[in-house]
Structure 1
């Protein structure tokens, strides 16, 4: 299983304490030798003192101990495990044309149950979550590359430029080009 997250993307999620990435990766602080969930509200370290791991076992093998505040070693409920499995699937396959049926088949539950549970635990549908992942990818590419907007559209998993612009405006309240200009200032 290969999750396509770059260091800077994980750093951004860690800075804003994004709980949706809990279980997807763990943040380890070299100076304290402690690892945390991305949602941990503890004081943020310097970026140069941070390492990321996709499995808590990897962090522990590297000499890190679990944070007492966020307790990353604690197991989650079966429902949260299912949701994390869905989120991992979406992160791994965001470039693909994914239908709700594909996701439900992957995790082994009905589409109806999956959508209801996902909305209950994350406050959004799998589709809106997938769009958010794609917009996060596009935003990162707009900030860090000189790729043309059309290339970023397809690289981030959108199938049409018009849908990309519509969803991007809905999330960021500006066009991709305007966003790039804002971020380069």
Structure 2
């Protein structure tokens, strides 16, 4: 049974009640802390629990946003999961807001933490990933520069060439020619 005091704590995201009780939402199968910033559920779907063990026993899983089970990902693991998402979807249109939403944090916090751990911003990491993929394609395929740019998530050939030259010190065409010449010359004895 959910008391009026518990319901008020949930609606107001009151951190003072964290640890005193947890609430589960039957329709989603998730349980949260009272301070969770997720959307307020309908009261008729909410059940209060004295402990996380009770909620788990009732078949609910912990919220990924507020982590009521007390298991916080270390920042390094979190940054690695962001980096993996970027490497997996580098060819797609990726924004800081989209990444932050996937990780259930604010864009500012994600940006700051990722830069502290990885030494570059998520946007810079995305660009580096795209450039590395483009370099591999320039060395191994006969696709046009525009097709390669589009394949790595930089659909404007002019923008792709500019970004590539800024990162590598040569145009994509110059890079391809230099690496094709090295391959044609073969290893030196």
Structure 1 and Structure 2 fold alike (TM over 0.5) = yes
In 2, the alpha carbon distance for the partners of 1:180 and 1:159 equals 19
Give the distance between the partners of 1:161 and 1:118, measured in 2 at CA.
Answer: 29
TM-score by length of 2: 0.56
From 152, 157, 167, the equivalent of 2:163 is 167
2:99 is aligned with 1:103: yes
Separation in 1, partners of 2:122, 2:97: 11
Distance across 2 between alignment mates of 1:84 and 1:167: 25
> Structure 2, unaligned stretches of length 5 or more?
1-72, 182-189
What residue number does 1:127 align with? 123
SS at 1:158 equivalent: coil
How many Å apart are 1:119 and its aligned residue?
A: 1.0
| Rg (Cα) greater in structure | 2
Higher relative contact order (CA 8 A, sep 6+): 1
What is the CA-CA distance between 1:126 and the residue it aligns to?
0.5
CA distance in 2 between partners of 1:178 and 1:153 (Å): 15
CA RMSD of aligned residues (A): 1.1
Q: What is the CA distance between 1:166 and its match in structure 2?
A: 1.6
Q: What is the TM-score normalised by the length of structure 1?
A: 0.57
* Runs of 4+ off more than 2 Å: none
Which residue number in structure 1 is paired with residue 140 of structure 2? 144
Deviation of residue 160 (structure 1)? Answer: 1.6
- Alpha-carbon distance in structure 2 between the residues aligned to 1:110 and 1:139: 33
Following TM superposition, by how much is the alpha carbon of 1:165 offset from its aligned partner in structure 2, in angstroms? Answer: 1.2
Query: What do the CA deviations read for 1:16-53 (whole angstroms, capped 9, x no partner)?
Result: xxxxxxxxxxxxxxxxxxxxxxxxxxxxxxxxxxxxxx
- Give the distance between the partners of 1:100 and 1:82, measured in 2 at CA: 15
Question: 145, 154, 159: which one pairs with 1:158?
Answer: 154
Q: Is it true that 1:92 corresponds to 2:80 in the alignment?
A: no
